[in-house]
């Protein structure tokens, strides 16, 4: 008993920052106990999220598991230490320093969580686009890097402000520097934001056949600054993203059907009764093709050297080769039927009426 009383007396007499030693021991034990409890609760939550992720197809549970898994031990330890400090009577300046440290730790943990969420979102979109739009997935990865950089920059500035550092002048300098950089690199930034618009709005994707002004080709690359097409003749066409979005784009890949208009020129010498049969023959030639849907056939106009018939039909598909196969079969059918009916195709001809010169005696008279 005397030894115990002596130990209690020692613990009660020894003090630091106005607190006896037993209070410090109590604060440390409380902090360690809370740290163990926090770790245990976190492990239970992570296991529960893993079970939900295995049972459900929702990717949100997988994201929740990854979110909880990115909780750092130093974050839990700082929270436990803050709770342990409640058992102590500390000076105001010590409390301020402790709170500043804890706030910085919370900001860092929030940045880690935000970084994980951004990474998960970008990874999911990249996984969905990897097969159909690999270049778009690369662009998304670059955008994810920019977003993470913005998060960590904001955390750094908030941490500096929490430490009492005046960041107003720094922000002003960054603002002026940002304006200068933006003016110097406005074309690059314009292409970058245009790339973001292409990735998010998706006016076209890899493999689409598009026409831009008088240029046409298949999209084979969508980058941060340029988009590249492979033309029908084989060369590569390179467009800046900003210029591309300013142009009118015809995306043939988005067609449900291909509408086709073509004309047939018939000779003027063709009898009227045979002319009246031409629309029916043209319709029959189109309707024999299963991949074609007939719309109309009419005697459209009197041409310079021919009677012009106009035919409109739809190809049930967007493939260009299919369209050419159907058009070829229709042309063969029209040629065969016109030959059977004795209807002649017109070709550019010109009739010249020559009036002879007057006789010499008539001129002399």
Question: Distance of CA 7 to CAs 10, 11, 12, 316, Å?
Answer: 5, 6, 8, 95
Q: Give the 3-state secondary structure percentages of the chain, helix then strand then coil, rounded to 5.
A: 60, 15, 20
3-state secondary structure of 346: coil
Q: Are residues 187 and 242 in contact, defined by beta-carbon separation less than 8 angstroms? A: yes
Q: Looking at the chain, which residues constitute the CATH 3.30.70.100 domain(s)? A: 258-341
Q: Are residues 89 and 15 in contact, defined by beta-carbon separation less than 8 angstroms? A: no
For residue 315, what pLDDT is reported? 92
Residue 231's DSSP bridge partners are 217
For residue 1, what pLDDT is reported? 47
Domain 258-341 has CATH 3.40.50.300: no
Distance CA 110, CA 118 (A): 12
For residue 359, what pLDDT is reported? 58
Distance CA 208, CA 217 (A): 8
Distance CA 191, CA 246 (A): 11
12 half-sphere exposure, CB direction, 13 A CA radius:
6
Mind listing the pLDDT tens digit for each residue in 103-137? 888 888 888 888 888 877 777 776 666 555 555 56
Mind listing the pLDDT tens digit for each residue in 19-42? 777 777 888 888 889 889 988 888
Question: Distance of CA 25 to CAs 16, 134, 249, Å?
Answer: 12, 59, 73
List, for the chain, all residue ranges whose pLDDT scores fall below the cut of 70. Answer: 1-18, 56-61, 126-142, 167, 169-189, 356-365
Residue 216's DSSP bridge partners are 211
For residue 8, what pLDDT is reported? 47
For residue 4, what pLDDT is reported? 47
Cα angle 127, 128, 129 (rounded to 5 degrees) comes to 95
3-state secondary structure of 57: coil
The dihedral region occupied by 268, where left means phi > 0, alpha psi between -120 and 50, and beta the remainder, is: alpha
Could you give phi then psi for residue 316, rounded to 5 degrees? -80, 75
3-state secondary structure of 7: helix
Q: Looking at the chain, which residues constitute the CATH 2.30.30.60 domain(s)? A: 192-254
Distance CA 208, CA 230 (A): 11
Other Cβ atoms less than 10 A from the Cβ of 112: the count is 18
Distance CA 198, CA 210 (A): 14
Distance CA 126, CA 133 (A): 9
3-state secondary structure of 308: strand
Element (H or E) spanning 64, and its range? helix 59-69
For residue 333, what pLDDT is reported? 95
Domain 192-254 has CATH 2.30.30.60: yes
E strands present in the chain: 15-16, 19-20, 209-212, 215-222, 226-231, 236-240, 249-251, 258-266, 292-302, 307-315
Distance CA 59, CA 77 (A): 30
Distance CA 295, CA 259 (A): 9
Is the four-CA dihedral 159, 165, 166, 167 of positive or negative sign?
A: negative
């Amino acid at each position: 008993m005397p030894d115990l009383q002596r130990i209690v007396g020692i613990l009660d007499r020894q003090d630091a920052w106005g607190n006896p030693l037993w209070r410090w021991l109590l604060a440390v034990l409380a902090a360690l106990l809370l740290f163990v409890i926090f770790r245990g609760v976190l492990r239970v939550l992570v296991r529960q999220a893993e079970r939900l992720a295995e049972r459900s197809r929702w990717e949100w549970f997988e994201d929740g598991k990854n979110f909880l898994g990115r909780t750092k031990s130093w974050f839990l330890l700082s929270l436990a230490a803050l709770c342990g400090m409640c058992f102590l009577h500390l000076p105001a300046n010590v409390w301020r320093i402790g709170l500043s440290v804890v706030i910085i730790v919370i900001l860092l943990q929030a940045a880690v969580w935000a970084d994980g969420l951004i990474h998960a979102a970008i990874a999911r979109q990249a996984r969905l686009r990897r097969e159909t739009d690999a270049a778009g997935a690369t662009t998304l990865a670059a955008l994810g890097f920019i977003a993470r950089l913005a998060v960590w920059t904001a955390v750094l500035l908030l941490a500096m402000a929490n430490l009492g550092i005046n960041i107003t002048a720094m922000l002003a300098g960054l603002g002026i520097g940002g304006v200068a950089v933006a003016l110097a690199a406005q074309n690059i930034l314009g292409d970058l934001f245009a790339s973001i618009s292409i990735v998010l709005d998706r006016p076209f994707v890899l493999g689409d056949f598009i026409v831009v002004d008088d240029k046409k080709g298949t999209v084979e690359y969508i980058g941060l600054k340029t988009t590249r097409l492979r033309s029908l003749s084989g060369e590569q066409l390179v467009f800046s993203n900003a210029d591309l979005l300013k142009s009118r784009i015809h995306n043939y890949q988005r067609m449900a059907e291909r509408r086709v208009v073509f004309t047939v020129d018939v000779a003027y010498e063709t009898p009227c009764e045979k002319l009246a049969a031409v629309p029916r023959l043209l319709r029959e030639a189109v309707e024999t093709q299963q991949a074609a849907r007939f719309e109309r056939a009419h005697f459209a106009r009197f041409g310079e050297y021919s009677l012009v018939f106009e035919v409109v039909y739809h190809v049930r598909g967007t493939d260009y080769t299919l369209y050419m196969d159907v058009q070829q079969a229709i042309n063969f059918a029209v040629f065969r039927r016109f030959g059977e009916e004795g209807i002649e195709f017109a070709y550019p001809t010109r009739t010249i009426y020559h009036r002879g010169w007057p006789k010499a005696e008539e001129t002399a008279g």
